[in-house]
Amino acid sequence: MNRRQLLAASAAMAFATPAHAQPKRPQVIAHRGASGYLPEHTLAVYEAAVRMGADHIEPDVVATKDGHLVVRHDPVLTDSTDVLSHPEFADRKRTIKFKTFEITDFFVSDFTLAEIKTLRARQVFADRSHADDDRYDIPTLQEVLGLRERLSRQAGRTIGIVPEIKFPTFHQDLGLPIEQKLVDMLDRAGLNSGTAPVWIQSFEQANLKALKKLTPIKLLQLISGSDVDATGNVTLLPPDDKPYDWVVSGRAGTYADMLTPEGLDEVATYASVVAPWKRWLVSFRDGHPTLHTDIIANAHARGLEVFTWTLRNDRLDPFYSDPMAEYAQLFGMGVDGVFSDFADTAVAARDALIRER
């Protein structure tokens, strides 16, 4: 079967359900907003994603020194802001040593909210447009929740939100835990229920298990990986080899163990979605793909939905003829949702498959 035939077959499989069953509509989550076009995690980039038809926006959540929740992809500032243009903060740069790695940067947790608000957001990828660098400030999570509500009214549809708690153990060790504050904010926004269009996500496990006791909000377990080797298999090296809370607690195993039937059994006790990096689902060797549909089938058998990340038009594997083909393949495999930097492409691919049902 050649490349075109394989992708056509994947598309045909996308909604191959029994006649009496209504196929589910795959979800499009705007990864950091429409971050392929504008600086990530700004109000403007979330609004752009909704205009493109995204079902959900994804704010990554970190904490400031004075305990406010703001949105940045990581608890650091160099790549995504103009912090280097602020000489008044030059002495804030420092190195933090974790158990298996270290980071040297400017940490959000060393800044007050007032100081964070003096910074401006920048595009993190060098080869994407920088025309909008320094135009937007760093929003608080509360501002993002307010935007979500306004955009839902304007769009005439409910916009979901998929907050990710970044570095939860790190924040807990600083005395800046995020979980309860996040739940309280979602509660005040009327989103503290199991039917709300919300998933709280984390690469760690202990905080999700704790959240299961705090809230009925749906939880999402992220599964990372470091790279792929010459045979197409996912490689696992710190810090992307296992949940960091496993490192701290001394628990043996890696992310690969979470995708076994036994690992998925455990995930299903606290989460409603498992979200592996896309290379766990589709691997390549010598230009030929291997589709790991067993992971999806095993997750579905346990009542888990499967989302995957991150789809990027400008980071496409050479196997695919165009970005739409990657979506067609993943939807054809039965993936329930995708995180994408390019929400417009994701929506177009999803809607094309729905029209073909």
0.85 exceeded by pTM: yes
Show Cβ contacts of residue 221 under 8 Å, excluding neighbours closer than 6 positions: 201, 202, 205, 208, 258, 267, 270, 271, 273, 274, 275
Exposure string over 214-249, b if 16+ CB within 10 A, otherwise e: ebebbbbbbbbbbebeeeebbeeeebbbbbbbbbbe
CA distance 279 to 291: 10
**DSSP 8-state class, residue 159:** P
Structure tokens at 251: 């628990």
Q: How far is CA 224 from CA 81, 164, 228, 276, 298, in A?
A: 25, 14, 12, 6, 18
Spatial distance between the Cα atoms of 213 and 201, rounded to a whole number of angstroms: 15
Task: Compute the radius of gyration of the chain from its Cα atoms.
Answer: 20
Please provide residue 170's backbone torsions phi and psi, each rounded to the nearest 5 degrees: -55, -50
Helix (H) or strand (E) holding 310, with range, is: strand 305-311
Nearest to 345 by CA among 300, 318, 315, 319: 315
pLDDT digit of tens for each residue in the chain (357 aa)? 444 444 445 544 443 433 334 458 999 999 999 999 999 999 999 999 999 999 999 999 999 999 999 999 999 999 999 999 999 999 999 999 999 999 999 999 999 999 999 999 999 999 999 999 999 999 999 999 999 999 999 999 999 999 999 999 999 999 999 999 999 999 999 999 999 999 999 999 999 999 999 999 999 999 999 999 988 899 999 999 999 999 999 999 999 999 999 999 999 999 999 999 999 999 998 888 999 999 999 999 999 999 999 999 999 998 899 999 999 999 999 999 999 999 999 999 999 988 876
Please state, in angstroms and rounded to a whole number, the distance separating the CA atoms of residues 276 and 191. Answer: 25
β-pair type (218-223, 199-202): parallel
Q: Measured between alpha carbons, how far is 189 from 212 in angstroms, rounded to an integer?
A: 19
In angstroms, the CA 102 to CA 298 distance is 35
